[in-house]
Amino acid sequence: MPQSEKYSFLISVYAKEEPQYLSEAFSCMLNQSYAPDEIVLVCDGPLTDGLESVISRVKDTYGDLLKLVRIRKNGGLGNALAVGLLECRNELIARMDSDDLCSLQRIERQINYLRQHPEVSLVGSNAIEFVDDPKKPVAYVVLPETNEEIRAFSAKRCAFRHPAILFRKKAVLSAGGYRGTYMWFEDTDLYGRMLANGCICHNIQENLLQVRVSEDFYKRRGGIPYLKSMCLVKWELVELGLSSKLDFLISAGGQILVCAMPNFMREAFYKTFLRK
């Protein structure tokens, strides 16, 4: 089916990202079978020379296709995406992370699904996780498919992989947009408010996203600040009516145990119980 809808990619980068990974993420976005109308890149604070070099090469080659939004001081992903969302000129917006990869047919699959289901506000997908080579996945992320399954799943766990989603801008803004309230959980916060606002969501049962994981990936999922933010966002789901107090106790209690684990045990737990 020929492309008709225009869309924007929304991506954020900060100083600790690897230039090579950002370059590979750009390649995935620029070579989509459904080409983007714009790529909005939020530079969250000062960047390294290596990252600036990658950005300059893309800007020199593609010109106005790449829209740069610079924030003077790093404020976290939620704040960066809140700023970037307002800079996107299209109604359809696709998320992407600066260190992940995706299928070159990803956007085509998602836009075609939205064409056939105009009632849907957000569409995601399943994913694989890899360390060095996306052709050698270390785990598979299988997510709930239908809106009913997503709502039930969301009572205890996040039902989407953030870099895989494509959404309607009006629906996100109507739910309050991105916020920086919950560090590490800006996506869970958004999905909860969208579902509570009546948005219909869907996950395509294909691995359209490839997530790069490392020791740091699991290390970030531990510690007191992470645990505090997790508990706060899960309680928000209770207040929104998406989760019960019992769901909160089960989910938060389990997460407390996982956060307290040494990193090697946390990695093994994720791969054994939370992945396929």
How does DSSP assign 170-199, residue by residue? HHHHHTT---SSSTT-HHHHHHHHHHHTT-
Q: Region 9-27: what's the mean pLDDT?
A: 98
pLDDT at 218 over 90: no
Q: Specify whether the CB–CB gap between 83 and 67 falls below 8 A.
A: no
Domain 7-273 sits in which CATH superfamily? Answer: Spore Coat Polysaccharide Biosynthesis Protein SpsA; Chain A (3.90.550.10)
Q: Region 45-68: what's the mean pLDDT?
A: 98
Q: Which whole-number Å values give the CA distances from 230 to 45, 52, 179, 226, 266, in the listed order?
A: 25, 33, 15, 6, 16
pLDDT tens per residue across span 240-272: 999 999 999 998 888 777 776 766 666 666 666
pLDDT at 216 over 80: no
pLDDT at 158 over 60: yes
- Range of lowest pLDDT (100-104, 161-165, 214-218): 214-218
pLDDT of 276:
63
Q: How much of the chain is in helix, strand and coil states, percent to nearest 5?
A: 45, 20, 35
Q: Region 202-209: what's the mean pLDDT?
A: 98
Give the pair of three-digit tokens for residue 194: 């969208």
pLDDT at 46 over 80: yes
Phi and psi dihedrals of 258, rounded to 5? -65, -40
pLDDT tens per residue across span 73-123: 999 999 999 999 999 999 999 999 999 999 999 999 999 999 999 999 999
pLDDT of 266:
62
* Whole-prediction pTM: 0.92
Q: What letter does residue 118 receive in the DSSP assignment?
A: T
pLDDT of 257:
79
pLDDT of 270:
60
Cα–Cα nearest to 40, from 16, 6, 70, 61: 70
- Range of lowest pLDDT (20-24, 46-50, 121-125, 130-134): 130-134
pLDDT of 264:
66
Beta pairing, strands 120-130 & 101-102: unpaired
- Indicate the average pLDDT of the chain: 93
Q: Region 27-36: what's the mean pLDDT?
A: 98
pLDDT of 220:
62
Cα–Cα nearest to 38, from 57, 16, 4, 62: 62
Cβ-proximal residues to 4 (8 Å cutoff; 6+ apart), any chain: none
Question: Mind spelling out the 3-state secondary structure of 128-146?
Answer: EEECCCCCCCCEEECCCCC
Q: Specify whether the CB–CB gap between 36 and 25 falls below 8 A.
A: no
Give the pair of three-digit tokens for residue 94: 């696709």
pLDDT of 244:
96
Displacement of CA 87 from its chain's centroid (Å):
18
pLDDT at 47 over 70: yes
Q: What letter does residue 242 receive in the DSSP assignment?
A: S
Q: Specify whether the CB–CB gap between 106 and 183 falls below 8 A.
A: no
- Range of lowest pLDDT (134-148, 193-207, 220-234): 220-234
